[in-house]
Amino acid sequence: MKRFLWITSLLFILISCSTPENQMTLTGQVKGLKKGTLLLQKIEDSLLITVDSVLINGKDEFNFSEEIESPEIYYLYVKINNGILQDDRLAFFAEPNEMTIKTTLKNFAVKASITGSENQDKLNEYNKIIERYNFKNLELIEKSFTAKQKGYDSLASTYEASQKSLITKKYLATINFALNNSDYEIAPYLMINQVRDSKVKYLDTVYKALNQNIKDSKYGKALESLIQSRSTQE
């Protein structure tokens, strides 16, 4: 009888201490945040909702535990001590792993260091690629504006044509990145958030390249739904 009770107690302890397979354990630090509230948020049915929050009072470290059905974008938002929300929201690709976010209150979204998510690493890689296109686009906008001010309409038109060409190249770079990373949830995420208005054949090409696990993810299902909707419209 004692042996049975001992085994039962041991099993209870093991079960109670076990971590769900799809749980994200998020720890981190916001240097400079002495008093306020950190909100953990995500998009649900096209609405931004708060799934958890933690009060910061003197200690700038935090932790969250959240069950994640499949990797997706979450957000950290700061509500400072007077109840006002900061303008910048920190987006990150959450995964059911141990994750860490370290940042500062002053540069909350810009200087954040995020570890523990392969999809986040891929997103960082993608952002570096697209950053070059964004800088070039700003440069062309400035040149076109200056040319118009000086009355050089023909030159301004040339810059505008270059802009359109650059946008096409940016779209193709995104599609190519998704194809090259079809084993990650970031592939369908980029297609529905960055190039959702591209031709259906491109959306479909990326969807067909996804493995079944990615197709069954939140963004995989969203991409499938987008393709079906666009195909009906066209």
Note the pLDDT of residue 80: 82
From residue 158, give the alpha-carbon distance in Å to each of 82, 167, 169.
51, 14, 17
State the sign of the Cα–Cα–Cα–Cα dihedral 38, 24, 101, 133.
Answer: negative
Note the pLDDT of residue 58: 86
**pLDDT less than 50: residues of the chain:** 2, 4-5, 7-18
* pTM for the full predicted model: 0.86
Q: State residue 27 phi and psi, 5-degree precision.
A: -120, 160
pLDDT in tens, 45-100: 889 999 999 999 988 999 999 999 999 999 999 988 666 677 689 999 999 999 99
Cα-based angle 232, 233, 234 (whole degrees, multiple of 5): 95
Domains, the chain, in order of start with CATH, read 20-116 (2.60.40.1120), 120-233 (no CATH)
Beta strands across the sheet bearing 72-80: 47-57, 35-44, 72-80, 90-94
